[in-house]
Amino acid sequence: MAAGSWRTGAGLGDANIAVARRTIAAALNASAKNRELLGHPVMQSILAQDDLLGPLLGELGVSFGQLTIGTGKMSATAEGTDVALTNYSLANSTTITPARHAFARAASDFGRALQEPLLTGELAPDAYAMVIHEAMMVWANTLVDKIVALFPSLTNTIGTTNTALSWSAIQDGIIDHKDRGNRGPVLGIIDSVGAKALMSDMLSMGGAVQWAPQAQGAIQNATAGAYLGRFWEADFYMSGELDDDGTDTSGALLSVGCIATKHARVPLPAEAMEIADGYWFTVEGRRTAGSETRFDIVSHLAAQIREDGRGSELLYKMT
Amino acid sequence: MATRASTRTDDAPEGAASLSRPRLAQSAAGPSLGSTPMRLRESRGPWTWMISAARLGCRNGVIVPRAVPAWHAPGVSANVRGDNGAGYVGDLKRQHYVEIPHDRLPCVAFGESRAGAAHSVYLERHEGVSIGGARVFRWTSAWTRYARLGHMTYPEYDHAGQDLFLHQALLDLCTPDGKLSPVQITLATRPLIKRIEAEASREGPHARALIAQMAAQLPAEHVPDSVHAILRRLEIELTTDTDK
């Protein structure tokens, strides 16, 4: 920058502005993987079922019962003889009780750090749009966290304690999954350690597995984000939200109906300044007593295993 | 404009430098790294471990229950706000799980007794800051602790201590006479044995490494002849992580 007509022979000196323009863009973060999960048919089905249950009109939660039908066989019976009645059996009654979850931003942070003229990149050029966009992301993180919390309590397990995830372990698990009567879309969720172990094992298999189109797809898909590939017709994704017990990590293989969620729609009162109703969440502009205005992102939700046999825990060595 | 160079210790009165820390030795950004809070990722919160007599595994030669964390957080399983996980615990109890009490069983982690621990004998709450600078709490089992190396926060584990605690909890809470039944031993070892036998049909160093890893989990007294034969054929010597 030219000094101009300054009354100094030493240039601008301390009056210089070291950095003139500052641009702010949304930072890369690993929770982007959570949003990718939402597009999978199994997750879409969870949300569709959630929605189909309708609003909670005064109830605290919802309950699922699994009715066993279609397992019996007819017995040979002489004409004119009564057949013993078979009672309906309702098993696995499950209750889901949504709880309030919230995340807040202070409006002053926007004035300080994210003034509109400075915004570039992926951020929306408007602070309100940005907070609504963030609300969707925060809700997705919360939803995924609630779902993965249930993985360690899935009864069926694929893999063994303190050992790396292997192709043949999942192969056996898929057969068991089919053997329980499952069909339809399958979502596999593992972390990067599990993914590396699986890929490494796959590459060592040779022949039929190593050269399968799915294996080639997995090798080449650096651009596919969290999606690893489709093996055994199950879509595998990476997640950074999985829990471990210090030795083993718990991922999962899920079919439609394994996990249920329930959101409670809690409309804001008339006096509230509603910034957005995102259906699964709301964003409210609030002024707390004597404080700055804040944005509250709120969602009432819960997750529960609906039918255990429709999923399996993917268990493997954590490191 | 003042520069940092002008804050030299030799500006101090004679003798003062030897009594106090040189100013340039202090971080320009504030307190030294030694007093900076640990960077941690916030966790879901505390849990109660639930174990079942029939959900077992082997780790480093020890039969352990596959402990399920019944999270206390509302919105998970059947929990409702303020019930400290009673909903989830109740759900698992209906599936014949029993809870590991937070205060009763003797517990040693990293060589020290956990008697009188603040929250639970088997849970620890770590305080730190998130990547955004907010104060966060991370709950782990008592056999995980955090240390710092440069900018890194890394976990340290006492796997043997945790496995021993879980094994003892299994004997105390899930066996009538403090001994595992033959069925329980089969439930714990069979998945590993089947996997070892399956991997043995493959050739190559990767399969060999997997077999060695799995065989190391089995208790020595429960390694069957079929696995011994595979190990002999592949020239694998049995070791556990804790041997290393």
User: Of A234, A281, A309, which is closest to residue A40 (Cα–Cα)?
Assistant: A234
Residues B97 and B207 in one domain: no
User: Of B62, B242, B215, B99, which is closest to residue B157 (Cα–Cα)?
Assistant: B242
Is the confidence metric ipTM above 0.95 for this complex?
A: no
> Given an 8 Å threshold on Cβ–Cβ distance, is B44 in contact with A145?
yes
Q: Is residue B239 less than 8 Å (CB to CB) from chain A?
A: no
Position A79, amino acid: E
CB atoms within 10 A of CB A124: 15
Position B58, amino acid: C
Instruction: Write out pLDDT tens, residues B58-82.
Output: 999 999 999 999 999 999 988 988 8
pLDDT band (50, 70, 90) for residue B6: very low
User: CA B149 to CA B137: how far, in whole Å?
Assistant: 20
Gap from B39 CA to chain A (nearest CA, Å):
16
Chain B hits for A98, Cβ within 8 Å: 75
Chain B hits for A168, Cβ within 8 Å: 195, 198-199, 202
Q: Is residue B80 less than 8 Å (CB to CB) from chain A?
A: yes
Chain B hits for A305, Cβ within 8 Å: 77
Chain A hits for B87, Cβ within 8 Å: 95, 97
Residues B64 and B131 in one domain: yes
pLDDT band (50, 70, 90) for residue A90: confident
Lowest mean pLDDT among A208-212, B96-100, B108-112: A208-212
Locate A300 and state its tokens.
């009432």
Q: What is the DSSP letter of A223?
A: G
Answer with the one of B147, B174, B201 that is the final residue of a domain. B174
Residues B98 and B168 in one domain: yes
Q: Give the list of residues 6+ apart from residue A99 with CB closer than 8 angstroms, or none.
A: A300, A301, A302, B74, B75, B79, B80, B81
The pLDDT, as a whole number, for residue A110 is 64
Tell me how many domains chain B contains: 2
Residues B94 and B202 in one domain: no
pLDDT band (50, 70, 90) for residue A123: very low
Answer with the one of B146, B174, B202 that is the final residue of a domain. B174
The alpha-helical segments, DSSP class H, found in chain B are: 16-19, 86-93, 159-174, 182-199, 205-215, 225-234
Gap from A75 CA to chain B (nearest CA, Å):
32
Residues B115 and B148 in one domain: yes
Gap from B79 CA to chain A (nearest CA, Å):
7
CB atoms within 10 A of CB B17: 15
> Given an 8 Å threshold on Cβ–Cβ distance, is A301 in contact with B75?
yes
pLDDT band (50, 70, 90) for residue A3: very low
Top-confidence residue, B172 or A106? B172
Position B63, amino acid: I
Residues B224 and B135 in one domain: no
Residues B89 and B205 in one domain: no
> Given an 8 Å threshold on Cβ–Cβ distance, is A303 in contact with B195?
no
Nearest CB to A246; choose among B81, B157, B206:
B157
Chain A hits for B192, Cβ within 8 Å: 160, 163
Rg of chain B taking only CA atoms, in angstroms: 25
Question: Once rounded to an integer, what is the mean pLDDT over residues B3-13?
Answer: 42
Residues B192 and B149 in one domain: no
Domain that holds residue B210: 182-243
User: Of B240, B243, B64, B68, which is closest to residue B163 (Cα–Cα)?
Assistant: B64
Residues B124 and B235 in one domain: no
Residues B38 and B138 in one domain: yes
Q: Is the pLDDT confidence value at A232 over 60?
A: yes
pLDDT band (50, 70, 90) for residue B147: very high
B102: in domain: yes
> Given an 8 Å threshold on Cβ–Cβ distance, is B213 in contact with A164?
yes
Nearest CB to A99; choose among B50, B57, B80:
B80
Gap from A256 CA to chain B (nearest CA, Å):
17
Q: Is residue B58 less than 8 Å (CB to CB) from chain A?
A: yes
Q: Is residue A3 less than 8 Å (CB to CB) from chain B?
A: no
B143: in domain: yes
B154: in domain: yes
CA atoms A29, A193, A317, A235: torsion sign: positive
Q: Do residues B216 and B237 make contact, with C-beta atoms less than 8 angstroms apart?
A: no
Answer with the one of B124, B139, B174 that is the final residue of a domain. B174
Instruction: Write out pLDDT tens, residues A239-270.
Output: 999 999 999 999 999 999 999 999 998 878 88
> Given an 8 Å threshold on Cβ–Cβ distance, is A200 in contact with B157?
no
Lowest mean pLDDT among A4-13, B17-26, B86-95, B235-244: A4-13
> Looking at the DSSP assignment, which residues form a beta bridge with residue A314?
A158, A251
Helix (H) or strand (E) holding A141: helix A127-148
B203: in domain: yes
Residues B125 and B80 in one domain: yes
Residues B166 and B239 in one domain: no
> Given an 8 Å threshold on Cβ–Cβ distance, is B210 in contact with A246?
no
Residues 104-163 of B with CB under 8 A from A: 140-141, 143-144, 157, 159, 162-163
User: CA B214 to CA A162: how far, in whole Å?
Assistant: 8
Gap from B1 CA to chain A (nearest CA, Å):
7
- Sheet strands (E) in B60-161: 62-65, 68-71, 97-99, 108-109, 112-113, 123-129, 135-141, 144-149, 152-157
Gap from A305 CA to chain B (nearest CA, Å):
7
B4: in domain: no
